[in-house]
Amino acid sequence: MTEQQSFEIERRFDEFEVRRYPAHVLVQVTVDGDFLRAGNLGFRPLIRYISGRNARALRIPMTAPVTQEPLGDHSHTVSFVLPDGTDPSTVPLPTDAAVATVAVPAGRVAARRFGGGWTDARFEQNGEALLAAVEIAGLVPEGNLYFARYDPPWKPGFLKHNEALVRVHGEAAPTR
């Protein structure tokens, strides 16, 4: 079974939850293309990296989710989360100049779960709903909205687990 990135749930809301993620390491690539094409284009160099095409020829287990951060209409950063406990100082250097490794500090993230197939509209709608709910809750988004895919492309759409996410700060307003 594929390891999933760990987190602790701080608080649940009707539309989302606030999670605390530990420090972790991403391997990522930025590609051009629409949302779905960028996901496919970004996946290939990342799977090559964890399959041993890195400076140490080290194979690294696949984890979930695969994340994608839109940077504009046609540019996206696609990332794999390396296994829990990965020490950033021991991560093999990429041999592909397009691939980078990034140490991410611990932080709070608002996450909205949603199911269904991978369509631009579904991701966009859930991202907008997350940002609206975060604002209503009195939290402040930090950085860009990004998305998580937990399942392989061949899994039927109605069984897929996806998420819209954004880093947040501030204290949520009390619930009534």
pLDDT in tens, 34-72: 888 898 999 999 999 999 999 999 999 999 999 999 998
Pairing of strands 107-115, 8-12: unpaired
**CA dihedral sign of residues 65, 128, 75, 19:** negative
Please state, in angstroms and rounded to a whole number, the distance separating the CA atoms of residues 168 and 13: 14
Inter-residue contact 84 to 21 (CB < 8 Å): no
* Residue 1, pLDDT score: 63
What is the CATH architecture assignment of 24-104?
Alpha-Beta Barrel (3.20)
Please state, in angstroms and rounded to a whole number, the distance separating the CA atoms of residues 149 and 132: 21
* Residue 152, pLDDT score: 84
pLDDT in tens, 127-140: 999 999 999 999 99
* Residue 125, pLDDT score: 96
Inter-residue contact 56 to 92 (CB < 8 Å): yes
pLDDT in tens, 119-174: 888 999 999 999 999 999 999 999 999 999 998 888 888 889 999 999 998 876 66
Is omega for the bond preceding 156 within 30 degrees of 0, making it cis? no
* Residue 173, pLDDT score: 65
* Residue 72, pLDDT score: 82
Q: Domain extents for the chain?
A: 3-21+107-169, 24-104
State yes or no: pLDDT of 16 exceeds 90. yes
- Token reading at 137: 């809750």
